[in-house]
Amino acid sequence: MDFNDTPDLASFRQDVKTWLDANAERRTDKLHMGMEGEQAFQEAKAWYKKKADAGYACLTWPKDYGGAGLTPLHEVVWTQEVEHFKTRDAHFVIGIGNCGPAILHFAEEEQKRELLPRMASAEDVWCQLFSEPSAGSDVAGLRTRAEKNGDDWTLNGQKIWTSGAQYSDYGVVLTRTDPTVSKYRGLTLFMIDMRQPGVEVRPIKQMDGGQHFNEVFFHDAVVPDSYRLGDVGGGWTGALTILMSERLAISGVQPTGFPQFLDLVKSLELDGEPIANDPIVRDRLASWYSQYAGLQALYKRMLTAVAKGGIAGAEASMGKLVGAVMNQEIANFTCQLFGPAGIILDPEISPERAHFEEQVLFSPGVRLAGGTDEVMRNILAEQVLGLPQEPRADKGIAFQDIPTGPS
CA–CA distances in Å: residue 258 to residues 32, 166, 219, 327, 334: 12, 31, 44, 7, 11
pLDDT at site 380: 87
Over 90: is that where the pLDDT of 403 sits? no
The boundaries of the domain holding residue 71 are 9-91
Over 80: is that where the pLDDT of 310 sits? no
Residues 136 and 225 in one domain: yes
For the ranges 125-129, 207-211, 293-297, 403-407, the lowest mean pLDDT is seen at: 403-407
- Per-residue pLDDT band at 57 (split at 50, 70, 90): very high
Residues of the chain with pLDDT > 70, as a percent, come to 92
Q: Tell me which of 317 and 144 has the higher pLDDT.
A: 144
Q: Is residue 107 part of a domain?
A: no
Residues 279 and 339 in one domain: yes
Q: Is residue 398 part of a domain?
A: no
Residues 81 and 192 in one domain: no
Q: Are 168 and 159 in contact (CB under 8 A)?
A: no
Residue where a domain stops, chosen among 171, 200, 234: 234
Residues 224 and 267 in one domain: no
Residues 209 and 271 in one domain: no
Over 70: is that where the pLDDT of 67 sits? yes
Mean pLDDT of 24-28: 89
pLDDT at site 207: 79
Using CB atoms within 10 Å of the CB of residue 38, give its burial: 0 to 12 exposed, 13 to 18 middle, 19+ buried. exposed
pTM of the model: 0.85
Q: How many structural domains compose the chain?
A: 3
- Per-residue pLDDT band at 35 (split at 50, 70, 90): low
| DSSP letters for 369-394 | TTS-HHHHHHHIIIIIS-PPPPP-TT
Q: Is residue 356 part of a domain?
A: yes
Q: CA-CA distance, 47 to 41, in Å (whole number)?
A: 10
Mean pLDDT of 159-165: 93
Residues 211 and 298 in one domain: no
- Per-residue pLDDT band at 312 (split at 50, 70, 90): low
Over 90: is that where the pLDDT of 365 sits? no
Over 70: is that where the pLDDT of 34 sits? no
Over 60: is that where the pLDDT of 252 sits? no
Residues 32 and 153 in one domain: no
Q: In degrees rounded to 5, what are phi and psi of residue 122?
A: 65, 20
Q: CA-CA distance, 99 to 116, in Å (whole number)?
A: 10
Residues 227 and 270 in one domain: no
Over 90: is that where the pLDDT of 175 sits? yes
Mean pLDDT of 323-327: 93
CATH of the domain at 222: 2.40.110.10
For the ranges 287-291, 303-307, 315-319, the lowest mean pLDDT is seen at: 303-307
Mean pLDDT of 222-232: 96
Q: In sequence order, which residues have a C-beta less than 8 Å from that of residue 306 and are 6 or more positions away?
A: 72, 248, 312
Q: Which of 125, 154, 121, 113 is nearest to 54 (CA)?
A: 121
pLDDT at site 226: 96
Q: Is residue 289 part of a domain?
A: yes
Residues 266 and 324 in one domain: yes
pLDDT at site 176: 97
For the ranges 155-169, 179-193, 291-305, the lowest mean pLDDT is seen at: 291-305
Q: Are 264 and 334 in contact (CB under 8 A)?
A: yes
CATH of the domain at 271: 1.20.140.10
pLDDT at site 313: 65
Q: What is the CA radius of gyration of the chain?
A: 22
Report the 10 Å Cβ neighbour count for 82: 19
Residue where a domain stops, chosen among 68, 91, 114: 91
- Per-residue pLDDT band at 292 (split at 50, 70, 90): very high
Q: Enumerate the β-bridge partners of residue 222.
A: 154
pLDDT at site 203: 93
Over 60: is that where the pLDDT of 360 sits? yes
CA–CA distances in Å: residue 330 to residues 184, 194, 255, 365: 38, 37, 11, 15
Q: Tell me which of 396 and 221 has the higher pLDDT.
A: 221
Mean pLDDT of 229-256: 76
Residues 367 and 308 in one domain: yes
Q: Is residue 131 part of a domain?
A: yes
- Per-residue pLDDT band at 268 (split at 50, 70, 90): confident
Mean pLDDT of 368-372: 78
Mean pLDDT of 134-152: 90
Residues 262 and 321 in one domain: yes
pLDDT tens, residue by residue, 88-111: 998 998 889 889 989 999 999 999
CA dihedral 143, 148, 152, 156 (to 10 degrees): -20
Q: Is residue 180 part of a domain?
A: yes
Residue positions counted in the chain? 407
Mean pLDDT of 161-172: 95
Q: Is residue 4 part of a domain?
A: no
Mean pLDDT of 230-235: 94
pLDDT at site 71: 86
Q: Is residue 396 part of a domain?
A: no
Residues 282 and 380 in one domain: yes
Q: CA-CA distance, 376 to 367, in Å (whole number)?
A: 10
User: Which own/partner pairs from 399-402 qualify as long-range (CB within 8 Å, at least 24 positions apart)?
Assistant: 399/176, 399/178, 399/179, 399/180, 399/181, 399/182, 399/183, 399/186, 400/179, 400/180, 402/141, 402/183
pLDDT at site 237: 86
pLDDT tens, residue by residue, 382-402: 888 889 988 887 888 999 988
